Chain A
């Protein structure tokens, strides 16, 4: 390989191996434009070359699944003639460099993945991970990311119904911004992205193409360095107003029989959209870049083909329908142009006027990237532990507190510990964030942010949908298998607490450089753990995204699988939320501190709580998560302004109060029932063989747990509600 070729390949983000493979397949050397097209499509972000073999291990089929991985988003039948469409996607690297636009366009991109399927986006959620909460950079990133999400989501009229924010120093230079979108369509009305029909016109709709986000997919697939700041031009700029028009116009034409296929322009821009559409449809395409409307002058064919300008859609129409469809876009004030046509030769052919400037086989361009089996030569045999494998209970409750609040030696009293935890950046109230998001537009939000899983009603149906998250993070750093399993279990448990039967998951795997042994091993372990939990809980993963190379200056982030779960609530009037009501009995359902991760117990626990919530016996249910039992009780009280009085009679070993109060273990849910339903709770727990402990009663203006905890709600509220204010304060 000559030096010039080597440098051109490297510039496009391709390895020598990949370059050779291209030359072999083409039986010639690619030109610069073609090399650029390979560069973006064979980037990790687009080709999943490191993760594809792993992702095949995840269960993706299920009785309700209408569309698994392979389209823009997954889809499940939720009954009553309705289909839910769901996907989560990362926008980590753009958000590290230009946090407002990075986060905003993350929202924009995932919205397009949903409405390109013909589904109306009905809810957004965001999982955000930031670095050391003491760092002023963290404070800046948090504010800008939240503003970006708000600025985009609010304008397009899709409610942001929940999310999560976590802090860990490993994210300091590489924050995570994962955005989940849920959409709704009528059954039988889903639109495909499979192009077909040689001669059919290809129409580009929406924004003009500019020089923003050139080769963003390649940027997203490389490590961030100090020079990344200079790569701001690789970050796209969003226009939520234009997107709102696109949503309405595209949904208007989505049901039209003359619209053959639709695909949004996301990563890898026009190259990606055109190639994916024809690869899926097993046909070819011819595009004339001179017909692409531009917002900058003098753009080269390569820039046009690789630009990631936002708010653009590609449609394949039947011949002769162009003008009629164009009139719909005209009415919405959107520019639409026929830029090419479908062919039957399996080639992606790019012209610049009469000149042929690129000609590549679509299937090779889309799926020809060599797969990687990880670092080293030996195959990595996944250590799949048996179900019911023991879990060491987490006692390092300091981690949940965040580094800023780790007690510096000496004994801390239990009340102070609870207040510290409730006021810590990782556990404190998120109200200051979610109040910046319109979480009520579309008038479906039944359970708003801050009260467990989000619950949405479905207009015209008695059913509801529950949407919850599970975040790997800290647990994955210690034990990837366990962390992966816990992320799935937690997402489903959150949905179950709302009374939703989990029907589908979407996941985003955020990891460091996969060519490091430790990262590759973690990726394998997490995927295997997720697989086990999906099988045990009988819920498929219908869509997802992988984000690798999340590192800063050579340090990988902690492995962070983020799982979104969708549950169907039989009758939305009977849902659960994480807030107390007056005069309830409080119970702990599930294993106590120190229980192993028993996936069968987890399954029975979830079935039990779903049944109790569905029957109306326990309108209050909450996962016991970071900070353990005491924090969960505190959060339930703070969300409602109603205290709790728990006797200490169930505490077996008071000397180990830290474990009892703050120890973290899976498969635990706090429920609260009106007293007349106490019997129902006991019967259900016995039937599902789930441990049940009566903790106490709701009421009063304190949280009390035996002799160990006695904290006033006012004081706790003050600490809890101001925890995020301190982020960025050195």
Chain B
């Protein structure tokens, strides 16, 4: 698996993501500058966490206009795996590659803590091999992570298996108390209709090694590493 990790001005989790992909998982990963216009040498493209372009205006609102995003769009259309983590999720939403919008946390404050999510869909390349209903413990760290989508779209996403992760308590119960940011339907991660574009607010790269207090994030990385991806050569 060859991964490209996009670096926007203001990204700050790109090195963490490369470390998890390479040192921890033994995959190959490059940093890709946001002015790059071709992603043809990769199987998977990761948009990492951070504050792309300072999150000025709105998280992800300026990053969607970075030159690389046209290439990301083509890459996704061709079936390549596109993975947005935290700020990367916000960018994908702003770019329209994932449905919905991101609002400020219900508490109006930045929140950094460990939370639990329940795996709702295992038919994506990012959750393949995990069982439905599995509970993952992962950290979140964001200020604008309250996922919002209208009722009709939400119903369609539910039907289409696009709700991938929901915030829950340690026993897997989806409750308001366990929802750290007020996301609609406790949504923590969604995918597009084809399942090859995935965004989540928690940080799997922060929990892929025992020394960091948890390894559940590794299950997502393992799924990606084992995913079968179409050959994208020449795209």
Q: In the complex the two chains form, what is the Cα distance from A245 to B54 in whole Å?
A: 10
Q: Is A657 an interface residue (CB 8 A)?
A: no
Which residues in chain A, 144-166, are within 8 Å of chain B measured between CB atoms? 147, 150, 154-157
Residues of A within 8 A of B56 (CB): 241
Residue of A nearest to B35 (CB): A331
A157–B111 touching, CB < 8 Å:
no
Residues of B within 8 A of A572 (CB): 211
Max chain B Cβ within 10 angstroms of own Cβ: one of A155, A245, A436, A438: A438
Residue of A nearest to B49 (CB): A441
Q: What string of 1s and 0s marks CB contacts (under 8 Å) between B107-125 and chain A?
A: 0011111000000000000
Residues of B within 8 A of A442 (CB): 15-16
A436–B109 touching, CB < 8 Å:
yes
Tell whether A245 pairs with B9 under 8 Å between CB atoms, given A438-B141, A440-B141, A459-B19.
Answer: yes
A155–B111 touching, CB < 8 Å:
no
Q: In the complex the two chains form, what is the Cα distance from A438 to B20 in whole Å?
A: 19
Residues of A within 8 A of B33 (CB): 331
Tell whether A333 pairs with B9 under 8 Å between CB atoms, given A443-B19, A443-B206, A457-B211.
Answer: yes
CB distance from A158 to the nearest CB of B (A): 8
CB distance from A327 to the nearest CB of B (A): 13
Residues of A within 8 A of B9 (CB): 241, 244-245, 332-333
Q: What string of 1s and 0s marks CB contacts (under 8 Å) between A316-360 and chain B?
A: 000000000000000111000000000000000000000000000
Residue of A nearest to B24 (CB): A443
B111–A241 touching, CB < 8 Å:
no
Tell whether A441 pairs with B13 under 8 Å between CB atoms, given A154-B110, A435-B111, A436-B109.
Answer: yes
A157–B12 touching, CB < 8 Å:
yes
Q: How large, as a class, is the contact surface on chain B?
A: 20 to 34
Q: In the complex the two chains form, what is the Cα distance from A441 to B11 in whole Å?
A: 11
Residues of B within 8 A of A470 (CB): none
Among candidates B13, B54, B113, B212, residue contacting A435 with C-beta atoms closer than 8 Å: B113
Q: In the complex the two chains form, what is the Cα distance from A441 to B110 in whole Å?
A: 14
Q: Is A581 an interface residue (CB 8 A)?
A: no
Q: In the complex the two chains form, what is the Cα distance from A242 to B110 in whole Å?
A: 20
Tell whether A240 pairs with B211 under 8 Å between CB atoms, given A440-B206, A443-B19.
Answer: no
A573–B54 touching, CB < 8 Å:
no
Q: Is A306 an interface residue (CB 8 A)?
A: no
Residues of A within 8 A of B205 (CB): 443
CB distance from B55 to the nearest CB of A (A): 8
Tell whether A439 pairs with B112 under 8 Å between CB atoms, given A157-B12, A333-B9.
Answer: yes
Q: Is A446 an interface residue (CB 8 A)?
A: yes
CB distance from B116 to the nearest CB of A (A): 16
Q: In the complex the two chains form, what is the Cα distance from A464 to B88 in whole Å?
A: 30
Among candidates B10, B113, B139, B209, residue contacting A155 with C-beta atoms closer than 8 Å: B10
Residues of B within 8 A of A245 (CB): 9-10
Q: In the complex the two chains form, what is the Cα distance from A435 to B13 in whole Å?
A: 18
Q: In the complex the two chains form, what is the Cα distance from A61 to B10 in whole Å?
A: 38
B16–A437 touching, CB < 8 Å:
no
Max chain B Cβ within 10 angstroms of own Cβ: one of A155, A244, A441: A441
Tell whether A154 pairs with B10 under 8 Å between CB atoms, given A436-B112, A442-B15, A457-B211.
Answer: no
Q: In the complex the two chains form, what is the Cα distance from A457 to B139 in whole Å?
A: 18
Q: In the complex the two chains form, what is the Cα distance from A333 to B143 in whole Å?
A: 25
Q: In the complex the two chains form, what is the Cα distance from A437 to B109 in whole Å?
A: 10
A241–B109 touching, CB < 8 Å:
no
Q: In the complex the two chains form, what is the Cα distance from A441 to B50 in whole Å?
A: 9
Max chain B Cβ within 10 angstroms of own Cβ: one of A154, A333, A457: A154
Q: Is B218 an interface residue (CB 8 A)?
A: no
Residue of B nearest to A445 (CB): B212
A436–B110 touching, CB < 8 Å:
yes
Q: In the complex the two chains form, what is the Cα distance from A437 to B141 in whole Å?
A: 8
Residues of B within 8 A of A446 (CB): 211-213
Among candidates A241, A437, A439, residue contacting B10 with C-beta atoms closer than 8 Å: A241
Among candidates B12, B19, B110, B212, residue contacting A150 with C-beta atoms closer than 8 Å: B110
Residues of A within 8 A of B211 (CB): 446, 457, 572-573
Which residues in chain B, 61-111, are within 8 Å of chain A measured between CB atoms? 109-111
Residues of B within 8 A of A156 (CB): 12
Q: In the complex the two chains form, what is the Cα distance from A147 to B109 in whole Å?
A: 8
| 15 more A-B residue pairs beyond the given contacts A436-B109, A437-B112, A443-B212, with a C-beta to C-beta distance below 8 A | A150-B109, A155-B54, A241-B9, A241-B54, A242-B54, A244-B12, A332-B9, A333-B9, A436-B111, A440-B141, A441-B49, A442-B15, A443-B209, A572-B211, A573-B211
A–B Cβ pairs within 8 angstroms, 9 of them: A150-B110, A240-B51, A242-B54, A244-B54, A331-B33, A435-B113, A441-B12, A442-B15, A573-B211
Give 3 nearest A-B pairs by CB, closest first. A157-B12, A241-B54, A443-B16
